[in-house]
Each structure stands twice: as structure tokens, then as C-alpha cells.
Structure 1
Amino acid sequence: MVIRWARLQPTIWTAVITLIACLTVAHAEGRDAAKPSEFVLLAQIVLLIAVGRGLGELMQRIGQPSVIGELLGGLLLGPSLFGWLWPSAQGVIFPSSGEQKALLDGIAQFGILLLLLLTGMETDLKLVRKVGRAAVTISIAGIAVPFVCGFALGEFLPQDLLPHPEARLIASLFLGTALSISSVKIVAVVVREMNFMRRNVGQIIVASAILDDTIGWIIIAMIFSLASHGRLDLASVAQALFGTLAFLAVSFTIGRRLVFRLIRWANDALVSSAAVITVILLLMSVMAMITHLIGVNTVLGAFVAGMLVGESPILTRQIDERLRGLISSLFMPVFFGLAGLSADLTVLKDPSLLLLTAALVLIASVGKFGGAFVGGALGGLSRRESYALASGMNARGSTEVIIATIGLSMGVLSQTMFSMIVTMAILTTMAMPPMLRAALARLPLGEEEKERLAREEFEERGFVANLERLLLAVDESANAIFAAHLAGLLAGGRGLPITVLHVGARARLQEKKRASAESHEAAIISAARTSAEVEPDGGGRVEVLSRAQEKTAEEAIAEEAKKGFDLLVVGMDKVAGGDGGFDRQIDDLTSGFDGPLAIVAAKGIHRKEPTARARKILVPVSGSNVSRRGAEVAIALARLSPEPLQVVYVSTTRDRGARRSSASMSLAREEAILKDMAANAARYDVHVGTTLRANTAPEVAILQEISASGADLVVVGVDRIRGDSLNFGSVAAAVLGKSTASVLLVSDGEVRPKT
């Protein structure tokens, strides 16, 4: 605890200094209190950030979400404590004048939109589709039961707790919604902290919370429409309902493509700093305004915008972290701190209100826990899994506070009811982490789940699974079409965007023919659709952007490389040069790209039919990182081949001096490497055949295996060697020059010294 106190001292001193500064100018500000003060606004923001983030840090250290600290910060600075102990000082820093409050309210209202944007970005729709029936059943049951309980409670509330007793229906609907929705952010944080995000039950918990949030914001949008009319107007409800459905339909069809293209355009075309973040904020604001115009709340537009932005395949980690940093460090402590300021827990000194608040917490907890537990049982989960699920779904956190704030601002909830809901949100959220940890710790790991986790762990460290964007440089040759075909197979499995850069004398003409059936773009799209045979979840859908070389090849590649590509695939008519290296044009193309390369050389059937599927794929391995990278690419391509992947162990050039003189010497290491490769392939349902050629020169071993296996494509992981021209070493040069099968050379971005 001493360490925690020492680390929190700077934050506490900041809050104290701000308090003293505010009180020092109290007389000066008080003389003209009718006018809003920028100083007071800054003091409010500094206090909310310092106290909220400081308490958030403390909460995280004791295993609680940081949002609880931000809420508690507002409660401490508001009438619940500071205003109760020193009302005059609290009135100076947080005056009740309308204009002064409007300044902070404006920041908080924009903060709501940003919080919903962030929540939407964390919404993984693929995860919802993956767990399917279980998540839908759990979400419906988990919402219906507490909603009915909350609605019934609202119908029996004393009239003095309602701001407008004649609008009890709206208040009851709002209360039912507030009790029924889980906080996907809190749930996801706790599940992630416990390393359960990849476990089956962890995915179901998060997916159910995502559906809860999505359904909840649609319900809130409907209730907002009702509240704005003050009565049950069927025409207005129908307008809001169909407007919402139309908005969602357009957003997830045309809107998804438009958002992706806007983000891509900002990333590729704009040179100013933080251009993508600017576009994201504009998209959020425009979609929020659209939902307002159709008669529903702006939060729905911000939430949907976040979901679309989160699905963008080129949203880089750096952009994502910048945006999250801005929201987490400024808008979250201000919004949740203001929510705490608006709550007055001193009302709970009234025994009847304290009892009613306890009943509210009990109804919320029992209703949500019971509904989620029943939903889990109906969804096919075991008793232990249902218990863990119900424990996780009981966290309200940020979501309830946002809903309660909206209800308060709309006049649907009274100040007392708002304080009671905030109390409920804090208590249920603080109870969730220890309950969920205890429940998850007792869940056993099944064999099928263990295999899936091993595969995902392998992918996390892998090369192909972490590709996000490909750049394809091609001319008009058959080899270029073959390169486009391979790039489409790699990209199609996960829906990666591809930029096709046409180079050479006919670059402009090739770019204009992009819509023809014989174009490179058509080859990519056709190959991507083929990927859907083994990746039905995300395969077959790729975005292809075409560009024609307008500068030298080196300058064109260097300019494209600035936009962030993970792999450059090169398909040119002439690959090998006269000196055993690469053709001069390939040298020029690759000199401007520092990342991983894939050089394609079509031979045999692929010269005549560039889009023909490779029937037999061969990959040499040696245990090195580069050979593993080649094996990953080969496994990804072999998933689409009718015959098993052929894996051959070859010694590296470094092993030549130590090559075995006796076949009787131990080959345990080599056999272990082959078994490891076979296990990696089995994770993707790829069958393999293995061969051991440890006592033969690597280039000879590869060429012999090509002939023996009848392979029509060989994938080789290679080192990029430092020099004046592109050099992958003597083994790659020999295979490229003498192979009868098509060759795909894959290197990483590291340039190694010549040995």
C-alpha cells in the first residue's frame, strides 16, 4: 500500500493545487458569476482528470475497472462528499449557473459519442457470428428477464421519484433498459485480463455483451423517440423503428464499403498528421447527426460508426491507440466524473430510499444473473459455463451510466433515480470481477478447445495471420497474372485489401483494363472467391485498388510503401538476371521497399494457365525462422490444393561443413522439425508428406524433391542478403534457375550481412 500511495501522490497534489487555485480566485469570479469562466472550466477538467484517473489507477491495482475510479472521483467532488463537507467551496469550483454548467456538459456530451465510438470499435461482429446461437439465446434471455423486472419496478415507483408522473410509461421503459444491458467494455476488460478472451466461454460472454449493447442502443433510440413526443404515438414510433432499420441496413452494406474507402483514402492520399483520426471523428459526427434527423438518439449513430471503423482492415494499431488514448485520458474521466457530480448519494440517508436502492440492486442482479443463466442453459452451455456467463453479464458500468445520463438530460429520470441507478452500476460492476474470476478459474479445458487455442497462439506469432495489407507490382506478362492469383489466395482467406501497381511500358493501358476478365484484378477476385471454400467466415471478399506507375519503378514502390503494406508481391515477365541474380527491373522495384518480399516465377503449367490451382506444393524447411515463414505461406496455399503438402527437410548452407558422413548418426533434430511442421499444418486440416534429405546440398535436395514428388509449386523461405542488388543467396538462385516447378520466394523485412 506504501508503493501505491507513493505513486498516487503526484495526482493527489495536482488535485489539491487545483482546489487551492479555484478557491483563490473565488472572489474575482464571484463578482461576475453570471458569465461563464474559462478558468473554472479548466479547473473542473483538471480536477476531474486528476482525481478520476488517480482513483482509476487505484481501482485497477485492486482488480477493479478504471471507470469505477472515474465515477468515484465525480462522487467525491460532487454533493455526495465535497459538497456535503464544504458546500461553499464546491459551489465555487462547480457552480450551478446554467451557462457554466453548459460548458462542461458540452464536453461531456461529445464524450458520450466518443465513448460509444470506442465501444463500437471494440465490437467484434465476427465473434458474434462465430458463437451464433448461444450468444443470441443468452442475450435475448439476459435482456428480457431484467427488462421485465425493471419495467415492473418502474410501474410501482412512488410518484415523487418521477419528474413527470404522467409519463410513467417512458420512465419504466428507461428503467427496464438500464437494468437489462451489460457493459461490453467492462466485460471485455475483465475477460481479457484473465486471459479468457480466447476460451469458448470467454468468447460467448463477450459476444453476448456485444449483442446486449447493440440491442440496448436500438431500444434507447426507440425510447428517446417516445420521450420526445411525451406519449405513445404509433406514427412516431413507426417512423423511428423503420428509420433505425433503414439506417442499420444502409450502414452495414453501402456504409461499410464507404467507411473503409474513406479511411483508406485518408491513409493513402492525405499527408497531414492524424488524418485518419480526423476522418473517423467526422464519420462519427455525421452518422450521429443522421440518427438525430431520423428521430432517434445520436448515440446509435456513434455506436454504429464505431463498429464500421473497427471492421476497417487498414486501421493500424498506431491509429487505434492514439484515438483510444485521447478518449481514455480526457473524455472518459470528464464524462464519468460529471456523472458522479450529478449523483447525490446523500439522498440515501433516507431509509426508504436506501431500501429502494437495495431493491433496485437486487432486482438488477437477480434478473440479469437469472436471465443469463437460463439463456446459457438454453444455448447448450454446462452449469459451470452458465454460472460464469451469468457472473460476467451482471456488470453494468459505463453503459448504465450513459443511459442514466441520457434519461436525466431528457427529463425522464429524476435526480434521485439517477443517483440510485449510478449506485447500482457501481455496485454490480465492482461485484463482477471477483465473481467472474472465481467462476472461470473452475472451468476445465477440453481437447477441442485446447487445439484451437494452440492454433491461435501459433497464428499470433506467425506471419500470414498478421498480414493486413498487400502490395502487388506487376507488368502485363503471364507471370504477373500468376502472381496476382497467388496474392488473391493469400488475401482472400481473411479479406485483406490489395493495391495493384502496374509497372512497365504498358502500365497505363493495363490499369485501364482492370475491369476485363483477363486482368490482374479479375485474377485476384477469382482467387479470393476460391479461398471462401476453406474460409467461409471471412474469405472471398477483398478490396482491390489499381494504380499505374507514373514515376520510375523505384520511386513508385517507395511512395506506395509509405502507406503501410505488410508484403510486396512481385510478378514480372523476366525474373532471373544474367549473373545468377534477379533482373534489373526487379532490383529497382524492391530497392524502394524495406518490408517482406514475395518474388514469383511461373513455370510449367502456370506459364500456360496462370490461374490454374497448384495441385502439389513443396516447401523445404530447415528449422530457421525464414524457412518457417515459407512453410506458413505454403500451408496457407495448400489448404486449397487437392494433394497433401510435401515438406522436405534440407540442411542450410551453414551446415555444409558439418554434414553427416554416416547415415547412422542421429537425425532426431531433423525429424522433430518435420513433426513440428506437420503439426502446424494439421491445425489447418492440411495433410502433409515428409522427406528427410539432411546429407545433401540444400539446392540439390530441393531440386531432387521437386522431381520425385511431381510438385508444380515450390515455396522457399529465404534471407535477404545485404548488397547493391537483390540477393537471396546461392540456394534461391539455383532453385530459381533450375526448377521445373513454379517458384515463390518469401523473405522477411530484415536485411542480413553476407556470410
Structure 2
Amino acid sequence: MVVIEPLSHHELLLVIVQLALLLFVARLLGEAFSLMGQPAVVGELFAGVLLGPSFLGVVTPAVYESLFAVSESQFHLLEIISWIGLIMLLVVTGLETDIDLIINKGRTAVVLSLGGIVVPFATGFTLGWFLPVEFIGAPDQRVVFSLFMATAMSISAIPVIAKVLIELEVIQRDIGQLILAAGMIDDTIGWVLLATVAGLARTGVVEFGSAVTTVLSVVVFLGIAFTVGRRIVAETIRWVDNAVGSDAALLSTLMVFALAAGAITQYMGLEAILGAFVVGVLVGQVKRFNYQVRRSFETMALSVFAPLFFAIAGLRMDVVALADPAVLTVGVAVFAIACFGKFGGIMGSSRLAGLSRWEGITIGGGMNARGAMEIIVATIGLGLGILTTSMYSIIVAVAIATSLMAPAIMRWSIPKIEMGDAERKRLEREEYLQESFVNNLTRVLLPTRGTVDTQYAARLIGPLFRPLQTDLDLLYIDDSDASTADGVRGWFGERLLNRGGSDSRATEQSESAERAFTELEERLGEQASPMRQLVVNAPGSVADTILENVDVGYDMVVVGERTLGTDPDGPLFSETIDRVVQETPCPTMVVSTSESVKRDPGQIDEPIRRILLPTVGTQSSRHAAEVAFTIAAEENALVEVAHVVARSGSSDQFVDSPDLTNEVDVGDRIVDRDAELGRQLGAKIVTTVTVSDKPGVELVDIADRNGADVIVMGTNTRPISQRAFFGPNVEYVINNASCPVAVLSSV
């Protein structure tokens, strides 16, 4: 058995100092460039140039040689960190990528990518054919050299482009997504070209089989990733969140997937960054990986690992080697032809794609960045003997220079691109979804015993969660030995009877649970995410059992419950529900059905055509509005947004009524704001603002008069007399409405 020697003390010390210095200078220059109105990526790339042979190697050669003029094995340690940063940056890019938008704009992206490949390839091949022979590694293989130059000129740097788009805050705009889509197609074609040219360099003949294998590998990998892989990623993240429930576990899972997929694509000869990008796309579509977790990953990637990657890429550039007049002349020619080919191809294809001049300039400026991808190509060319050291330095210089150009061009041109109504509405909707109450509900608990109220609760939330990827858990509690003093009667309906034997009781429990689950699943309908069925034997407090389950990380609890009566001093619901509403750490939605539904359970399945949404402009009302609008959009129902201005009653007929003009104006603004949200979510809206001495009575009258099928209300509970208190108007509506009422209690 061979024992691998660990890093020596000096090797470990050196790599730590290198990383500390690179990160410090990269972040320092990144912040400096940001203060000057330039993207930080420019400063991060420039940091490597300053610490490389071009500056530090000239100013203080001894310091440079002791730090960075090291052996290949020592420098490989930096490259490993660089690749981790590159992988993380591609994951961030995937998380920010809107696949639906790219599919919608697929034709445009393909046209742009072809323009960005064909013209640069032709100009690059011509350049290689006429370059002096001293720049060719193998003078007898000019065709191979020309093909390699064509490939190098065709490549784009997705990591650089992505970082710039993120920093300019345009990655989610149509133009940003178009650049990413076209860039990914460009790079895929570039990998095929590189495989072909590399095969030609090794054998002296074109390996068409290698090129075909590469294309098939890309197709197979993407096909498996977006079918089987999508399900594996989603199920794994849900399992990790259920079993561990920490952000750290989710972040670790993401990196494991990214590294594993990167290993697969690297093994297939497709580069690790393709696997990392695809994982980012897949994870970004899983709702459990919410906005907060995503931001944590992006913060670490963009503040530590991405700056190191760009600084190490800049470290490779040697400006001194370009001081030779002949090398400088060729370098200028290569740079000019590289820019002309990419810009010319993109500008021409952008017109064919129906894009504006400024859109063409922006896309051309972005895709003109070569970055680390061209550095990788240059490294492969040098290793295969295709390039001389001088040509290698020229290509690296072009990669850095074009990457430095891209941010300036895009910053100048993007503000000149007009945003259309469709794009503006899409961005507004995405901004809303990030802060949305309903959209950020990842786990919901529905305790059940199959009562009419619980069945209607399932009927109501079915369309609420149907278009979402919300995980819904159905909790059946066997309370056979529970005391009736716990208030179970009001919530669960009839109690299970213990018929004397444990086997019969277990059978009865199983049958009752199965029956309850079946009824609820029929009312819930088809959901985007699978539902879990949980059965708990809880002979003690049912409320304690529910609260214990809620503590594992649910975002909302939904319960079905009829009121106990109209006693203003007594509890509105049973003690079980009262405790759950008061003590649960997350919002609770209580759904109370009407007497007519109790008499005729068949009404549960009737369509919801009209929803009454009382609102007072609070956050609780806003959350209830999201619930109502989401249900309405799915059910094609009409939502009546109502605000009742409370008027102080007076029995003195000689007292003038108070002027409530200002209050009515405020009410108009409240309902208009909620109505705008409803239209944004695709619901049909009408608004009502009235004045009444008794707002609760007025709301019940509105529901009866206009034929509301359900009332959705939001409220904040307040403890009073040892019970949950929803407010007089809400409690009046719950007790007196002739239709079901859903009350969303915010924490």
C-alpha cells in the first residue's frame, strides 16, 4: 500500500497566502470598480493581472517569484479552487435562468448563437491561414492551427457574462436570458468543435466519430437531466428538508449535486460546467430551495469563490510577453478580428431575429467576452503543441481584454433598450413572487378526520396549491382514548369507538384513516407535488399532537371547523383549534362550513364562482387576498374585494352624520391596490366600498345579496379571556354567514 505524502508545511503555507492575497486584491478592486460605476468582475479580473508577471513580476520580481512563479503541482492547487469557483458561478447562473422564457425565445437564441459561431469561425480560420509560421506550434499542420484559431474565436465566456448580468441586475430581463441562452448554445457547439479539432491534432485526420459522440452525449445528458434528473433532484431536496430541515443541509445537497453532475459531464468530455449549470436550473425549479437559501448560496459564491476564479484567470496574462513588436502586431490583429467576427455575426443575426440595434449591440458585447473558456481552449492548444508560447499569450490577452470590454459595452447599451409591457409585467410578477405569501408556502399541514368541514377545507385549498409545488401533508390523528373534555367533538366529529380488541381497533383505525385520506385527496384533486399521509396515535391532547407536528417546519396549518356558538365570551372554536390558532408558530387557516353544506355534503364539490374578500389593507388582508386570487384564477371565479368604512352610530336624530369622505377615499385606495394584485395574478375582480354602523353585518349582507360561494378573510389573532380572538367583525361573519368562511390568521 502506497502512502500519499501530505502537503509540506511550505506548500500549504504558500497556497493559503496566495488565496488570501488573491481574494483581498480581487475584492478590493472589485469594490473600487463598483464605486466607479463598473461591475466588480472587471476589478476581479484586473486583480490577477496586477499580481501576475505583467505588474508584480516587473515591479518586485522577487516577491512575484516567491508567490506565483511556482511549480506546476503548486499552481494546480490554485486551479482546483478556481474550478470550484467556476462550478459555483455556473450553479448561480442556472438558479437565475428562466427555462420557460428561454424555451419561448428558443428560435431567437438559436439564430443569435449561429451568428455568433459561423462568422467568428470563418474569420478565425482566415486569420489562422495567413498568420506567420513562427506562431504555429506545428508548421506542417496549418489547417489544424487554422481550425483551432477558428474555434478559439467562436467561444464565449458564460461565467463572465453571467457575473456581469448579475451585477447589472439584468439577468432576469429578456435580454439577459437571451444572452445566456445563445451563449450556452454557442459553448455547446464550441465543445463539439474543440473535440473535433483536438482529435485532428492528435491523429492528423478529422475524427468525425468523436464529434458525433460529443453531440449525442450532450443530447443524452440533457434528456436524462430534465426527465429523470429533475425528479431525483426535487425528491432529494424535499427529503433533506423534511429529514434535516436546515439551510446548511440544502446548500450541501446543492453542492453535492453540482459536483456529481460536473464529474459526469467531465467524464463524458463535455466540461464540468455544463453539469453544474444544469443542476442550478433543476434546483431553481424546486420550491423547497426558497429565495432565502438561494441568496445564501449566491452570497458565498459571488463574494468568495467567483472573485478567486476571476483573479486566478487574470493571473495567467503576461503583458511583458506582448511587448515584442511582432507579437504585439499579431495580438492587435487577433483582438480586432475576434471582436469584428463576434460583433459582426451577432449584429447580422440580431436583425434576422427581429431585435433592435441596441439589443444587437448588447448581445454582441456580452458574447464577445471570452474569459476563462478561451483560456481553457488556449491551454489545450498549448498542451497539444498547436500553439506556440507567444500565440498562447496572445489568446489569453484577448480573452482578458474582451472580458474587460463586455461590462462597459453592456452598461452603456442596456439602458437604451426599451422594456416592453410584457417584459415589465413578467418582471413585476417575478418580483411579487419572491415576496409572495402563497408562493413561498413550501410545506402545509392539513389535520383530518374526514369531517365535512375538513373536506371543504381540502376542496378550497385544492385549487390554491394545484399550480404550485407546495408539499401538502395529510395528518390523521387516532384519539380513541382521548377525553371529550379536550374539545375533540367540535373538530373531529364523531369519536372512534374502542370495540374491545387491539386488532379490531387497529383495523378500524386503518380503515378510518384510509377513508379520510381518500375523501380528502378526491377534494384536493391533482397536485403538482406528491401528498404525504401521516397517521399518529395520540390518546392524549390532540392539540399537543398537532403542535408537535407543526414544529418540524410547516409554513401553514389548515383546519376545518364549525363554530361552537354565538356566545361572545365563549370560544369561537373548540379548545383544540383555539390552542392551535394561538400557539402555532406559523399562519393558520380555519375553514368553517355552513349548515347547508352540513346537511348536503354534495355541495362541497360544487364549483366556486364568486368569492367575497373583505379587506382593511393590513398584511393579513394582503395574505388572504393572495389566497383568494390564486383560488379564483384556478377556478375562473370572480372576486369581490370589499371594504366597509365603520360609521359611529348615534341615536340622536339632530346630530349631523360625520364626514367620512377621507375614510372612503382610503377605502378606495385599499381595494384598488388589492384589485391590481388580483389582476396581476389572473383573477377577475370587482370592488365595493360601503359605509355601515356594523361592518360585520354589512359584509354578511353583501355575501348574501351577491351570492358569494365562500368568504376569505385575513386577521391577526389576539388572546382575550384565555381564547383566540379574531376581532368582532370577523367573528360575526364566521357565526352568521350563510356560506363557508375561510379565516387566515397571520402570526
1:313-462 aligned within 5 A = 313-397=287-371, 399-401=373-375, 404=378, 415-444=389-418, 462=436
1:280-679 aligned within 5 A = 280-397=254-371, 399-401=373-375, 404=378, 415-444=389-418, 462-505=436-479, 509=510, 513=514, 518-521=518-521, 523-526=523-526, 528=527, 541-549=528-536, 554=543, 557-558=546-547, 561=550, 564-566=553-555, 568-572=556-560, 574=562, 576=564, 579-591=570-582, 593-603=584-594, 604=596, 607-651=601-645, 656=648, 662=657, 666=661, 667-679=664-676
In structure 2, the residue matched to 1:738 is 736
- Spell out, residue by residue over 1:635-677, the C-alpha distance to the aligned partner (whole angstroms, 9 max, x if none): 222223445322222136xx65799964985333333433444
In structure 2, the residue matched to 1:701 is 698
> For 1:647 and 1:272, how far apart are their aligned partners in 2?
38
Report deviation, 1:508. 7.5
**Is the 2:112–2:350 contact (alpha carbons within 8 Å) kept by the matching residues of 1?**
yes
Aligned positions, number: 697
Gap regions ≥5 residues in structure 1: 1-32, 529-540, 750-755
Report deviation, 1:249. 0.8
Gap regions ≥5 residues in structure 2: 1-6, 480-495, 497-507
Q: Secondary structure at the match of 2:469?
A: coil
- Spell out, residue by residue over 1:725-749, the C-alpha distance to the aligned partner (whole angstroms, 9 max, x if none): 4332222222222222121112322
Is 1:213 the counterpart of 2:220 in the alignment? Answer: no
Between 56-65 and 589-598, report the one with greater CA deviation.
589-598
**Is the 1:163–1:413 contact (alpha carbons within 8 Å) kept by the matching residues of 2?**
yes
In structure 2, the residue matched to 1:41 is 15
> For 1:658 and 1:389, how far apart are their aligned partners in 2?
69
In structure 2, the residue matched to 1:276 is 250
Report deviation, 1:43. 1.6
**Is the 1:502–1:511 contact (alpha carbons within 8 Å) kept by the matching residues of 2?**
no
**Is the 1:184–1:210 contact (alpha carbons within 8 Å) kept by the matching residues of 2?**
no
1:112 is matched with which residue: 79, 86, 92? 86
Change (3 A) 1:227 1:197: closer
> For 1:564 and 1:146, how far apart are their aligned partners in 2?
53
Q: Secondary structure at the match of 1:693?
A: strand
In structure 2, the residue matched to 1:203 is 174
Equivalent AA in structure 2 for residue 746 of structure 1: L
**Is the 1:68–1:426 contact (alpha carbons within 8 Å) kept by the matching residues of 2?**
no
Kindly, what percent of the aligned residue pairs are identical? 31
In structure 1, the residue matched to 2:236 is 262
Report deviation, 1:570. 1.2
Q: Secondary structure at the match of 1:542?
A: coil
**Is the 1:182–1:209 contact (alpha carbons within 8 Å) kept by the matching residues of 2?**
no
> For 1:402 and 1:76, how far apart are their aligned partners in 2?
21
Change (3 A) 1:87 1:290: same
Report deviation, 1:179. 3.6
In structure 1, the residue matched to 2:113 is 139
> For 1:646 and 1:162, how far apart are their aligned partners in 2?
75
Q: Secondary structure at the match of 2:741?
A: strand
Equivalent AA in structure 2 for residue 253 of structure 1: T
- Spell out, residue by residue over 1:110-153, the C-alpha distance to the aligned partner (whole angstroms, 9 max, x if none): 44333333333333213313444433433333343334433443
Structure number, greater radius of gyration: 2
Report deviation, 1:174. 5.5
- Spell out, residue by residue over 1:68-120, the C-alpha distance to the aligned partner (whole angstroms, 9 max, x if none): 32322222222222223343432222243233233333333444333333333
- Spell out, residue by residue over 1:568-597, the C-alpha distance to the aligned partner (whole angstroms, 9 max, x if none): 141335565783422223234445532222
Change (3 A) 1:563 1:398: farther
> For 1:221 and 1:553, how far apart are their aligned partners in 2?
63
Change (3 A) 1:746 1:271: closer
Change (3 A) 1:555 1:340: farther
> For 1:467 and 1:75, how far apart are their aligned partners in 2?
47
**Is the 1:401–1:421 contact (alpha carbons within 8 Å) kept by the matching residues of 2?**
yes
> For 1:586 and 1:34, how far apart are their aligned partners in 2?
65
> For 1:310 and 1:407, how far apart are their aligned partners in 2?
36
**Is the 1:142–1:180 contact (alpha carbons within 8 Å) kept by the matching residues of 2?**
yes
Equivalent AA in structure 1 for residue 696 of structure 2: E
Q: Secondary structure at the match of 1:80?
A: coil
In structure 2, the residue matched to 1:126 is 100
Change (3 A) 1:328 1:599: same
Equivalent AA in structure 2 for residue 334 of structure 1: L
Change (3 A) 1:154 1:266: farther
Report deviation, 1:254. 0.8
> For 2:376 and 2:43, how far apart are their aligned partners in 1?
16
**Is the 1:182–1:394 contact (alpha carbons within 8 Å) kept by the matching residues of 2?**
yes
> For 1:341 and 1:438, how far apart are their aligned partners in 2?
27
**Is the 2:461–2:631 contact (alpha carbons within 8 Å) kept by the matching residues of 1?**
no
Is 1:76 the counterpart of 2:50 in the alignment? Answer: yes
In structure 2, the residue matched to 1:28 is none
Q: Secondary structure at the match of 1:718?
A: strand
Q: Secondary structure at the match of 2:287?
A: coil
> For 2:385 and 2:277, how far apart are their aligned partners in 1?
23
Q: Secondary structure at the match of 1:651?
A: strand
In structure 2, the residue matched to 1:252 is 226
**Is the 1:75–1:340 contact (alpha carbons within 8 Å) kept by the matching residues of 2?**
yes
CA RMSD of aligned residues (A): 3.8
- Spell out, residue by residue over 1:451-476, the C-alpha distance to the aligned partner (whole angstroms, 9 max, x if none): 55665565555433444444433332
In structure 2, the residue matched to 1:94 is 68
Report deviation, 1:184. 4.6
TM-score calculated relative to the size of structure 2: 0.82
